Copies of this chain bind each other. A is one copy, B any other.
């Protein structure tokens, strides 16, 4: 069971009503989101902050899971997240690309790459695991 982009957007709005992130595309085992640049995320020595990038990483993997599992994935919880920051992001929108590498019944493992819009080299690279509650 896979959801369309429109269906995922609806679920995302329910789950993250305050998020400013935008769902760009939903493909099998993949999701792409965009975080419009916002001065509020700035911290010392950074452009887009590390926490904003981690939040985005966490969200885009949740969205990829919803795309595959639908509402059944709604209560999924992050069980681990490991991120490497590779270079300073630019003052442009942040693009987050999630790919699911293992779609288990109870466990999902995937990678997320973050880009400054228009750049080829990622600014950060992450591995995320989610636990899917049974019921």
**Which residues, 29 to 87 on A, are CB-close (under 8 Å) to B?**
43-46, 50-51, 54-55, 58, 74-87
A80 touches B81 (CB 8 A): no
A23 to B42, CA, bound (A): 21
A121 CB to closest chain B CB (Å) equals 7
Q: Return chain B residues, CB-CB under 8 Å to A75.
A: 44-45
Interface size class of A (residues with CB under 8 A): 35 or more
B50 touches A78 (CB 8 A): yes
A82 touches B127 (CB 8 A): yes
Q: Is A15 an interface residue (CB 8 A)?
A: yes
A82 touches B85 (CB 8 A): no
A54 to B133, CA, bound (A): 22
Q: Return chain B residues, CB-CB under 8 Å to A116.
A: none
**Which residues, 81 to 117 on A, are CB-close (under 8 Å) to B?**
81-88, 101-102, 109, 111, 113
A residues whose Cβ falls under 8 Å from a Cβ of B: 15-16, 43-46, 50-51, 54-55, 58, 74-88, 101-102, 109, 111, 113, 121-122, 125, 127, 129, 133
Given contacts A77-B88, A86-B102, 13 further A-B contacts (CB under 8 A): A45-B76, A45-B133, A50-B58, A51-B51, A51-B58, A54-B55, A78-B85, A79-B84, A80-B84, A81-B82, A82-B82, A84-B129, A102-B121
